[in-house]
Amino acid sequence: MLIEGKETFKDFTESDEAIATNILSAKLKFLEEVGLIIKTQRPDNKKTNLYLLTEKGLSLTPILVELATWSDKNLRDMHPTIVNGEAMEFLRNDKTAFANEIEKKYKEKLATTMYKR
């Protein structure tokens, strides 16, 4: 959600992870119950639900950045398809600035989405 911008059930089902729909439904419901995400309707299509991070969910950003850093250092040899490029270089050079930037972009997108409602 934060990095790849996924926000609908369809977005998640089309991910490379290929999670079963029943498991995805249960995980999304759990994340909503613990306050990490909210479920709302798409402003331009009331039939489509959006799953958006809450402030509580966004507070996990530093942990996700640390996991990405660890993966870059420890898993790249085993999985050379791990994302590389400008964003990873930014992450390697300044984790805090990277975290702040992805949070800022998410909040801007969220404000735009909520404004359309």
Q: CB count, 10 Å around CB of 87?
A: 14
The pLDDT value given to residue 116: 54
Domains of the chain: 9-115 (1.10.10)
pTM: 0.83
Type of residue found at 74: N
The pLDDT value given to residue 67: 93
Q: pLDDT category, 7, cuts 50, 70, 90? A: very high
More confident residue, 90 or 84: 90
Q: What is the pLDDT of residues 25-54, one digit of tens each?
A: 999 999 999 999 999 988 777 788 999 999
Write the CA distances from 39 to 10, 34, 75, 80, integer angstroms: 14, 12, 33, 35
More confident residue, 73 or 22: 22
* Torsions phi, psi for 87 (to 5 deg): -65, -45
Residue 111 has pLDDT above 70, yes or no: yes
Is the torsion defined by CA of 6, 4, 32, 101 positive or negative? negative
Q: Identify the three-state secondary structure at position 17.
A: coil
